[in-house]
Amino acid sequence: MHSMFKRTAAALAASVALAAPVAAELTGELRIFLDTSNPAPRATMEAMIDRFAAQHPGLEIETTVIDREAYKTQIRNFLTADTPDVATWYAANRMKPYVEAGLFEDVSDLWAEPEIAENLASTKGAMTIDGKQWGVPYTYYQWGVYYRKDIFDELGLSEPTTWEEEKANCEKIVASGRACYTIGTKFLWTAGGWFDYLNMRTNGYEFHNQLANGEISWEDDRVKQTFANWKELIDMGAFIDNHQTYSWQEALPFMVNGEAAAYLMGNFAVAPLREAGLTDDQLDFYQFVSINPDVELAEDAPTDTFHIPANASNKEAAREFLRFVVSPDEQTEINNGANLGQLPVNAKSSVDNDKFLLQGFEMLSSNSPGGVAQFWDRDAPAEMAKVSMEGFQEFMVKPDDADKVLAKLERARQRIYDN
Amino acid sequence: MTVAVDVPEQESWFHKNQQRLAPWLFLAPGLLFFLVYVIIPVFQSFNLSLYEWDGLGAAEYVGFRNYEDLYWEWVDRDAFYVSLKNNLIWLVLYLLAIPAGLFIALFLNQTVWGIRLYKSLFFFPFVISQVVVGLVFTWFYDPTFGLLNEFLGLFGMGPLNVLGDERFVTYGIIFAGLWPQTAYCMILYLTGLNAVDPEQIEAARLDGAKGGRMLWHVILPQLRPATFIAFVVTIIGALRSFDLISIMTQGGPFGSSRVLAYYMFEVALSEYGFRMGYGAAIAVVLFLIMLCFIAYFLWSMYREEKGH
């Protein structure tokens, strides 16, 4: 279930002890908990920590890598007892329970330093609760439609930009015996991605945020419009059958085998698609089409973060580590294609020369005027996220029951937000 | 100063009561652990069910609000209703493991060459982990390449997405659960059959009993202890059916395969769960259901003891 990996950097530290020590000498122990359990991110993080250790030979660093899914439940235990000095987590509402319980350290002082204030401004909002900052981001990635360019070429289609083009494309793809979109909703959150985009395109970023914060009824006509748009795609046969039985990884083969033409996903889907044999000529990316021309385009760009637990024992070293993680050079390094393959959070870093990263960066920095959302299960409170994503899945299987699903979500909203 | 060296008639209190104390001393570790890990938590979770608590901050006393919410979920045919209904389906259908186990045990209770191998093969599903059972059946049911649909295809039927259809999903999981549970009941009956008195069978045969009548009137009464144990473990197994659901569907699609134990885990301890009090309230309900069976088992065991 969960893999642990411990290592002290003592040996490494000894080998560089002769190097000139940096400004303030850090001593003691620094315990870092990571949820980056997949092989590539894990290697990236370990290499980064090694570089940090080389700069601070007096510091004894202990790293623990916990399985990504198990981490989500274990964090509650280790923030209260046997606490590490640095821990990974997610931005926005996802960190709220821990902020409210006083388990994350207020790091507004770091954000006041010009080095961070100037270069990380774009992600400040996602790290802010009650006017204070509670951690630093280390990577983020775009969401959008990854599609099979060769299938589009074969059918004579081009990248759509409007809802009409989108539906026209989809009709042709369905007519060719394929599904337009692959998706696996077994773990629910993938349906949350679809809802994010459909709702933000139909009603705009502000409305979407208000809905996530429980300020708008789920039985509002505008929400119903979002579901009506969604239903158009479902009724057309746009999505693969039996998606409720697959995880997002199990949905990949449909696209690789050409049974589905596209996938609305985060950029992390590119690596497995390439590994499965799709070349960059076959695979391409477009921004989710606009639906309501009156609302500005807004995107999902989930941010992964580092935090200092309030009960940490070596906060000085932890702060130095956070500064190190967001520094321009480290950001360029850990987010490049050979490592995380995502976008750096520091404005002074450079984006790796990868066609998807470049397109994503371009899209987020210049074509997302409406705002940038984290993701449905990070923006909405945990309980609402769970209930609603279950509702989205039910709706995708039984689109005619939309009203029933929305009534259920409305009941949940009244219960969840009233306290 | 002199010291009275011999005090033979002054026995220590411990010495005097040794006979009565000894059993308690031996029981003490067990009682202690039972108290700490079972009895006290029962009261603790009842207490917790009266609070609203996210597991991190301060708990807020809400009286019976959590139970009220459960009641409304029941009225609205929501998650709690679905879980409770599934629990009942589990209870009833899981009992099929008992006759199935008996049937296989009778079938295997013969002396042919290599019977030990066959017996262990039939027992195999109980040996492998529930997680593996869950995975194997998930593949078996897979709508695109699963064996079940290949098989149905031979008869021009299907495809059937067992785990993706809210009508079939619970039955699909129960069927997977029956596989190891049947093996368990089988082994209980096999040991029971070893203890069946051959003279009684002989006598019954002389009286002309055979087939079904022999089974019903002669064999089964002698298998009563095995049946009792099989019943107990199957009921308990049905009520704590958690691992298969977690592996095969995570309670999905849209929560239609949840049972109370899984629902409790989901609201209190899973990725999105932050409602400890609500989870505790579900646990209390589950405990009350179990209590009915536990009381029945204890009562029938007590009666048995008295009979002897």
Question: What pLDDT score was predicted for residue A16?
Answer: 40
Work out the percent of chain A whose per-residue pLDDT is above 90: 65
B252–A80: do the CB atoms touch at under 8 Å?
A: no
Mean pLDDT of B12-40: 91
Q: Looking at the whole model, is its pTM more than 0.80?
A: yes
Task: Choose among B78, B269, B274: nearest Cβ to A408.
Answer: B78
* Helix B79-94 with B224-239: angle, nearest 10 deg: 160
Question: What pLDDT score was predicted for residue A94?
Answer: 86
pLDDT (tens digit per residue) in A271-302: 889 999 999 999 999 999 999 999 999 999 99
Report if residue B285 sits inside a domain: no
Name the pLDDT band for B104 (thresholds 50, 70, 90): very high
Residue A76 has pLDDT above 60, yes or no: yes
- Residue B145 sits at the chain A interface (C-beta within 8 Å): no
Residue A1 has pLDDT above 50, yes or no: no
Mean pLDDT of A302-327: 93
**Domain count of chain B?**
1
Question: Which tokens sit at B248?
Answer: 């095969």
Q: Best of B271, B274, B275, B278 to disrupt the A interface by mutation (most A CBs within 10 Å)?
A: B271
Of the candidate CATH numbers 3.40.50.80, 3.40.50.720, 3.20.20.30, 3.40.190.10, the domain formed by A143-300+381-417 belongs to 3.40.190.10
pLDDT (tens digit per residue) in A377-397: 888 988 899 899 999 999 999
ipTM: 0.79
d(CA B209, CA B218): 9
Report if residue B65 sits inside a domain: no
Weakest mean pLDDT among A233-247, B7-21, B34-48: B7-21
- Residue A377 sits at the chain B interface (C-beta within 8 Å): yes
Residue A218 has pLDDT above 50, yes or no: yes
Residue A14 has pLDDT above 50, yes or no: no
8 Å CB contact between B185 and B103: no
d(CA A279, CA A294): 37
Work out the percent of chain A whose per-residue pLDDT is above 70: 94
How many CB atoms within 10 Å of residue A63? Answer: 23
A382–B274: do the CB atoms touch at under 8 Å?
A: yes
Question: Average pLDDT of chain B?
Answer: 88
Q: Given the DSSP bridges, would you call strands A59-65 and A28-34 parallel, antiparallel or unpaired?
A: parallel
Mean pLDDT of A201-221: 93
Residues of B whose CB is below 8 A from A73: 269-271
Question: Average pLDDT of chain A?
Answer: 88
pLDDT (tens digit per residue) in B64-80: 989 998 998 888 888 89
Amino acid at A73: T
Mean pLDDT of B213-220: 87
Mean pLDDT of B116-143: 90
- Residue B243 sits at the chain A interface (C-beta within 8 Å): no
- Residue A90 sits at the chain B interface (C-beta within 8 Å): no
d(CA A152, CA A173): 8
B56–A80: do the CB atoms touch at under 8 Å?
A: yes
The full set of domain ranges for chain A reads: 10-141+302-360, 143-300+381-417
Question: How many residues in total does chain B contain?
Answer: 308
B272–A76: do the CB atoms touch at under 8 Å?
A: no
Question: What pLDDT score was predicted for residue B159?
Answer: 79
Residues of B whose CB is below 8 A from A245: 142-143, 161, 163-164, 253
Weakest mean pLDDT among A43-52, A119-128, A355-364, B184-193: A119-128
Residue B227 has pLDDT above 70, yes or no: yes
Instruction: Look up the domain containing B174 and give its range.
Output: 77-274
Question: What pLDDT score was predicted for residue A53?
Answer: 93
E strand or H helix at A143, and its extent? strand A143-148
8 Å CB contact between A288 and A166: no
Report if residue B55 sits inside a domain: no
Question: What pLDDT score was predicted for residue B155?
Answer: 87
d(CA A103, CA A311): 7
Please tell me which residue of chain A has the smallest CA distance to B253.
Answer: A244
Name the pLDDT band for A407 (thresholds 50, 70, 90): very high
Q: Tell me the residues of chain B between 80 and 119 that have a Cβ less than 8 Å away from chain A.
A: none
A245–B164: do the CB atoms touch at under 8 Å?
A: yes
Residue B20 burial (10 A CB sphere; 0-12, 13-18, 19+)? exposed
Largest Cα–Cα distance in chain A?
71
Residue B270 has pLDDT above 90, yes or no: no
Give, rounded to a whole angstrom, the gap between the first and last alpha carbons of chain A: 35
Question: What pLDDT score was predicted for residue B184?
Answer: 93
Question: What pLDDT score was predicted for residue B116?
Answer: 87
Domain A10-141+302-360 has CATH 3.40.190.10: yes
Question: At B144, which CATH number?
Answer: 1.10.3720.10
d(CA B106, CA B99): 10
Residue A140 CA: distances (Å) to CA of A39, A307, A315, A361, B49: 18, 15, 25, 10, 39
Mean pLDDT of A12-24: 43
Residue A9 has pLDDT above 50, yes or no: no
Mean pLDDT of B210-234: 88
Q: Which of A174, A151, A396 is nearest to A257 (CA)?
A: A151
Question: What pLDDT score was predicted for residue A220?
Answer: 94
Work out the percent of chain B whose per-residue pLDDT is above 90: 41
pLDDT (tens digit per residue) in A331-344: 999 998 888 889 99
Amino acid at B149: N
Q: Best of A74, A244, A416 to disrupt the B interface by mutation (most B CBs within 10 Å)?
A: A244
Mean pLDDT of B48-72: 88
Mean pLDDT of B22-31: 93
Residues of A whose CB is below 8 A from B74: none
Residue B15 has pLDDT above 60, yes or no: yes
B254–A385: do the CB atoms touch at under 8 Å?
A: no
Hey, which residues does A263 pair with through a beta bridge?
Answer: A146
Question: What pLDDT score was predicted for residue A20?
Answer: 40
Hey, which residues does A181 pair with through a beta bridge?
Answer: A239, A262
Question: What pLDDT score was predicted for residue A6?
Answer: 39
Query: Is A143-300+381-417 in the same CATH topology as A10-141+302-360?
Result: yes
Report if residue B67 sits inside a domain: no
Residue with tokens 């960190």: A95
Q: Please state the separation of Cα B145 from the chain's center in Å.
A: 32
Mean pLDDT of B243-263: 90
Q: Please state the separation of Cα A194 from the chain's center in Å.
A: 14
Question: What pLDDT score was predicted for residue B216?
Answer: 87
Question: What pLDDT score was predicted for residue B49?
Answer: 93
Q: Which of B186, B168, B260 is nearest to B227 (CA)?
A: B186
